[in-house]
């Protein structure tokens, strides 16, 4: 949908862009009974390329008795906090989380500290924690909440980013992680926005949702297990509804009902507390900004359910918490979900006037788009673009796999796609690696760098917009070739790693690390080659291929 409204000044437009793109993610959880190979899958698209796009390996560490763990503010929550040396880039500067964060710049100032544990696990880190060496993994999406206070030392020092990292440092199971995070919220206070965190291990997956408390301290949270054999999707809106105290597959903060009743958010005579209605104003950003994506994932996974894309409002119950897919999903199926632009539906962004002659699916934020929480009764919205799963401002996307039948070092896999899902390739990294390639850990989005894997993918994704239906087709061919090749190669790689692991676990980890280094370098080389070829082939809107001279070739191609 699109309607013209009055223009805004550039500074206000930039603030709108920050609000809209800065809190815009999609996250999916596939239980082991719903996956084709019996693994548990958790995915997350971090849809904000204004932020730090480095994926950092945080090593396992030992800590002396009496040590403390610093809690840092994050720009991913509410913007930059110069008073704490917290910026969009780098997300933190500290010598205490491994070499990836020990970089030049003013040291990030902690909001506070908590007692440290003797030993912490290694993990992959981004804007939020991703996966640790014990196959514990997180996804994330930001949600609107009724209150969104800023950080305040001594009252509110926790946000989901640091909470997920602490859990990855200390926990091995989803249940353990939820209990730890809940306790930290209640003791140290939660600031910023509402949050949804899928958290899973090799056996089960849970959805943990949290919101700041109107009390100004502590916080509110609830967690619900995704039934085995089903999948979950979250897209910038709370997805847990009735909180049932008698349900063994639910957990929640002890003060949830008391605080909600005290502030008039819920009454006992209303029946079971509806989490979404209690702590939020409904759908985030604009109508269908969240629910259209929920519909799309559910309708692709379970077309037999005939879910309608049209619902009454953001509080609808037409889309269940989770659904059994018509067929079990592979890891590449989940990648495909994140690459979607509603192709083949009435909302297809590759069609229509706005897509241009070459079916370009991306839409850029402007004054016609929503920003903030759609539930605000004072807010007027006169138009917005459809919001697909794959967006041009995506910073990175991953699909994590936990496979309990293998040792943790081999069973855990992070499939990482840098830049927007539709035009990148997902690179595999095992949970047992001892480092990540430098090209993955280097990225400043304000400075182009040929050292950076992110810039490699971002450049071609942007260049392809010149003649998208043609160039994307060639990108998709290489995606298929590479990702299928990775899966085939991993069968051999993991057999060798398993043989090594039986007698030499550290040798197996070194082998997997070397594979990741070589595979990433070879993939980037092929991506550079494709970029160079497409620059020449489609130069100036013409066609140059093989021995042929440049010639006009402006006929649009569908598909």
pLDDT at residue 510 greater than cutoff 90: yes
The predicted pLDDT at position 378 comes to 65
Condensed to tens digits (0 to 9), the pLDDT of residues 155-204 reads: 999 999 999 999 999 999 999 999 999 999 999 999 999 999 999 999 99
DSSP state of 88: S
Radius of gyration of the chain (CA): 23
Condensed to tens digits (0 to 9), the pLDDT of residues 15-46 reads: 333 444 445 899 999 999 999 999 999 999 99
DSSP 320-358: -S-B--SSPBPHHHHHHHHT-S-TTSTT-TTSSGGGTTT
| Nearest to 62, CA basis, from 163, 176, 169 | 169
C-alpha span between 444 and 485 (Å, rounded): 30
DSSP 481-510: HHHHHHHHHHHHHHHHHHHHHHH-HHHHHH
The predicted pLDDT at position 24 comes to 80
> Range with the lowest mean pLDDT among 63-72, 191-200, 256-265, 374-383?
374-383
Per the document, the length of the chain is: 559
292: Cβ contacts below 8 Å, ≥ 6 apart: 309, 342, 347, 386, 387
Condensed to tens digits (0 to 9), the pLDDT of residues 192-216 reads: 999 999 999 999 999 999 999 999 9
445: Cβ contacts below 8 Å, ≥ 6 apart: 49, 50, 51, 53, 89, 395, 454
By percentage, how much of the chain surpasses pLDDT 90? Answer: 85
Give the residue, 353 or 18, on which the prediction is more confident.
Answer: 353
Condensed to tens digits (0 to 9), the pLDDT of residues 296-351 reads: 999 999 999 999 999 998 999 999 999 999 999 999 999 999 999 999 999 999 99
DSSP 218-267: S-EEEEEEPPTT-EEEESSS----B--TT-TTEEE-TTHHHHHHHTTS--
Its pTM surpasses 0.75: yes
Q: Is 401 helix (H, G, I), strand (E, B) or coil?
A: strand
The predicted pLDDT at position 278 comes to 98
DSSP 515-541: HHHHHHHHHHHHHHHHHHHHHHHTGGG
- pLDDT band, very low/low/confident/very high, at 520 (cuts 50, 70, 90): very high
The predicted pLDDT at position 4 comes to 29
- pLDDT band, very low/low/confident/very high, at 282 (cuts 50, 70, 90): confident
């Amino acid at each position: 949908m699109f309607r013209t409204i009055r223009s805004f000044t550039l500074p206000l437009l930039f603030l709108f862009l920050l609000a809209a793109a800065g809190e815009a993610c999609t996250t999916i959880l596939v239980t082991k009974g719903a996956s084709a190979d019996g693994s548990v899958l958790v995915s997350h698209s971090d849809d904000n390329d204004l932020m730090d796009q480095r994926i950092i390996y945080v090593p396992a560490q030992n800590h002396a008795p009496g040590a403390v763990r610093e809690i840092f503010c994050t720009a991913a929550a509410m913007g930059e906090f110069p008073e704490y040396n917290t910026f969009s880039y780098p997300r933190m500067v500290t010598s205490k989380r491994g070499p990836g964060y020990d970089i030049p710049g003013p040291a990030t100032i902690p909001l506070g500290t908590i007692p440290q544990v003797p030993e912490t696990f290694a993990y992959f880190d981004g804007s939020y924690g991703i996966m640790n060496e014990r196959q514990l993994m997180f996804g994330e999406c930001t949600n609107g909440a009724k209150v969104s206070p800023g950080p305040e030392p001594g009252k509110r020092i926790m946000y989901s980013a640091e909470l997920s990292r602490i859990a990855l440092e200390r926990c091995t199971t989803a249940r353990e992680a939820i209990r730890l995070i809940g306790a930290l919220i209640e003791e140290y206070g939660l600031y910023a926005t509402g949050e949804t965190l899928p958290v899973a291990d090799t056996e089960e997956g849970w959805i943990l949702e949290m919101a700041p408390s109107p009390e100004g301290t502590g916080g509110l949270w609830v967690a619900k297990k995704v039934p085995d054999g089903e999948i979950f999707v979250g897209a910038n809106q709370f997805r847990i509804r009735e909180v049932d105290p008698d349900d063994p597959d639910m957990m929640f903060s002890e003060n949830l009902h008391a605080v909600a009743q005290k502030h008039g958010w819920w009454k006992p005579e209303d029946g079971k507390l509806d989490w979404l209605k209690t702590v939020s104003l409904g759908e985030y950003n604009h109508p269908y900004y969240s629910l259209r994506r929920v519909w799309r994932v559910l309708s692709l996974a379970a077309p037999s359910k005939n879910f309608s894309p049209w619902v009454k409002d953001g509080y609808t119950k037409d889309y269940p918490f989770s659904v059994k897919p018509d067929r079990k999903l592979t890891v590449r199926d989940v990648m495909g979900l994140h690459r979607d632009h509603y192709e083949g539906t009435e909302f297809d962004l590759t069609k229509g006037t706005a897509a241009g002659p070459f079916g370009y699916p991306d839409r850029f934020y402007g004054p016609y788009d929503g920003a903030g929480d759609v539930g605000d009764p004072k807010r007027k919205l006169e138009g917005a673009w459809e919001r697909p799963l794959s967006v041009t401002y995506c910073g990175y996307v991953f699909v994590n796999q936990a496979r309990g039948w293998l040792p943790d070092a081999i069973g855990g896999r992070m499939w990482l796609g840098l830049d927007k899902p539709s035009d990148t390739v997902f690179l595999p990294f095992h949970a047992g690696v001892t480092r990540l390639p430098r090209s993955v850990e280097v990225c400043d989005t304000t400075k182009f760098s040929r050292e950076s894997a992110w810039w490699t993918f971002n450049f071609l994704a942007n260049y392809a917009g010149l003649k998208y239906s043609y160039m994307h087709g060639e990108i998709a061919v290489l995606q298929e070739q590479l990702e299928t090749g990775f899966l085939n190669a991993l069968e051999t790689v993991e057999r060798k790693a398993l043989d090594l692991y039986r007698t030499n676990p550290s040798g197996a980890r070194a082998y997997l690390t070397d594979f990741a280094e070589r595979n990433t370098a070879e993939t980037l080389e092929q991506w550079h080659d494709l970029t160079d070829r497409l620059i020449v082939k489609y130069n100036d809107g013409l066609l140059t291929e093989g021995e042929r001279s440049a010639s006009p070739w402006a006929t649009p191609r569908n598909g």
